[in-house]
Amino acid sequence: MPSLAPIIDRVAEAVVGVSTHHRSSSEPQLWQGESATESLGVSSGTGFIFHEEGLILTAHHLVAQPMTIAVDVPGHGRMDAELIGEDPSTDLAVIRLVLPPDDLSVLRLGDSDQVRQGDWVMTIGNPLEFDQTVGVGIVSHIKRHLQQDGLQLTNDYLQFTAPANPGSSGSPVFNMAGEVIAITARSARSGEGLSFAVPAKVIRMVLASMETNEGRVRRGYMGVEFVPADRSLARQLSISDGQGVRVTAVSVGQAAERAGLREGDILLSFNGRPITSGFDLYEWITWSTPQTDVQLEVIREGQRIPPVRVTLGEVGNAVNSGEEAETSPSR
C-alpha cells in the first residue's frame, strides 16, 4: 500500500479539535468519541471544516447545550464558535467560527454510495486528546442499521476497522482520494472494538434539511411496520420475487391509519418506485418532507386496489407520542 502522507498533507489542516463547556444543567453523554471532566462540564472531540465561511461538522453530543464552544484550527489557534444546526438522531451538528479566517482549508464530501466492503479508509482525529492522529483500516460493513437512544429510526452506518477512541467523535473518514465519505459517530456498540460512521449520503441529507429548516432536521413518518414479502406470497400474488413489503402493524392515529392502510396490505411501490428493500422504503419515507403526500401501490386480500395517498406525519411528533421504538424497519 502506498504512503498516505500526500493525502494527509492535503487534508489535515481542515481537521479541527472541538471543546465545549456545557451548561450546569447539562450532563454530556460519554459515547464513543469524547473525553470529559464531569465537574467542569467539559467535552472534547473532533470536527472538520466543510465550508469557507467557517462551517464545521462535528458530533452533536459534543456540543449539545453549550455555554461556550472553542475550536482548535491548525495554523490559526483556538477560536470561538457557535452552534447553528443539530440533529441528535444522527449525532451530527454544525457549528460556525465566529470570526473565520479568510484562508481556511476545506474538506469535500465524496460519494459514499461508491464505497465497498473491503475498501481502505483513513481517519484523522483527536483520540485521548492526541491531536491530528491518523488511523487506517478497511470498510468492514456498509449499510449497518443501528438505533440511537430508542428513537424510532435507524441510521445507515458505515462500519470500519480504523480505531476510534475517546476524542474520535466527529473525525472525518477519508477514502484514498482524500474525500470525506463519512464522519465518526457515537454508537451503542462503542467499547467493543467496533467503529461506526455516518456516511456522506446521510450527511448531505442532514445538511440540506438543516438549511431548509433553520438548523433543524425534519423527517417523514407514516406509522407502519413491515417485513419483506416472502417468496411463497410473491408467487401467490404473481409479483416479482423480492418485490414488496407486507404491513405487520399500523400505528393508531398516525398517517397510515388515516389513509386507510391495513395490517396485511402488500406495498409494491412508493411514488412510482418499486419497493425491493424494506430499508429502501424506510429511507424514502424518512427523508420525505413531513406533511407532503406520497402514493403507494397496494395489494389487499390478493387484489390490487386503487393507489393509496398518504399525507406523511413527522418523526418527532410520533416519538413524542410515546410509541415504542422497533428494531425492524418501521415508519
Count structural domains, the chain: 3
83 lies in the same domain as 38 = yes
**Is 327 inside a domain boundary?**
no
Predicted confidence pLDDT, tens digits, the chain (331 residues): 789 999 999 999 999 999 998 765 444 454 444 555 444 578 899 999 999 999 999 999 899 888 899 999 999 999 999 999 999 888 899 999 999 999 999 999 999 999 999 999 999 999 888 999 999 999 999 988 776 554 545 667 899 999 888 889 999 999 999 999 999 986 555 556 788 999 999 999 999 999 988 898 888 999 999 988 877 777 777 777 678 899 999 999 999 999 999 999 999 999 999 998 888 898 899 889 899 999 999 999 889 999 999 999 998 664 433 333 333 445 6
- HEC string of the chain equals CCCCHHHHHHHHHHEEEEEEEECCCCCCCCCCCCEEECCCCEEEEEEEEEECCCEEEEEHHHHCCEEEEEEEECCCEEEEEEEEEEECCCCEEEEEECCCCCCCCCCCECCHHHCCCCCEEEEEECHHHCCCEEEEEEEEEEEEEEECCCCCCEEEEEEECCCCCCCCCCCEEECCCCCEEEEECCCCCCCCCCEEEEEHHHHHHHHHHHHHCCCCCCCEECCEEEEECCHHHHHHHCCCCCCCEEEEEECCCCHHHHHCCCCCCEEEEECCEECCCHHHHHHHHHCCCCCCEEEEEEEECCEEEEEEEEECEEHHHHHHCCCCCCCCCEC
| Residue ending a domain, choose from 163, 191, 212 | 212
pTM of the model: 0.80
260 lies in the same domain as 235 = yes
Q: What is the pLDDT of residue 318?
A: 47
Catalytic site includes residue 61:
yes
- The catalytic residue among 22, 43, 44, 61 is 61
**Is 281 inside a domain boundary?**
yes
Q: What is the CATH number of the domain that holds 206?
A: 2.40.10.10
**Is 239 inside a domain boundary?**
yes
Q: Which domain holds residue 267?
A: 220-320
116 lies in the same domain as 88 = no
| Residue ending a domain, choose from 63, 97, 131 | 97
Q: What is the CATH number of the domain that holds 265?
A: 2.30.42.10
- The catalytic residue among 43, 72, 89, 91 is 91
**Is 303 inside a domain boundary?**
yes
Catalytic site includes residue 51:
no
- The catalytic residue among 169, 187, 251, 330 is 169
Q: What is the pLDDT of residue 268?
A: 93
Q: What is the pLDDT of residue 283?
A: 87
| Residue ending a domain, choose from 169, 193, 212 | 212
Q: What is the pLDDT of residue 8?
A: 96
226 lies in the same domain as 312 = yes
144 lies in the same domain as 208 = yes
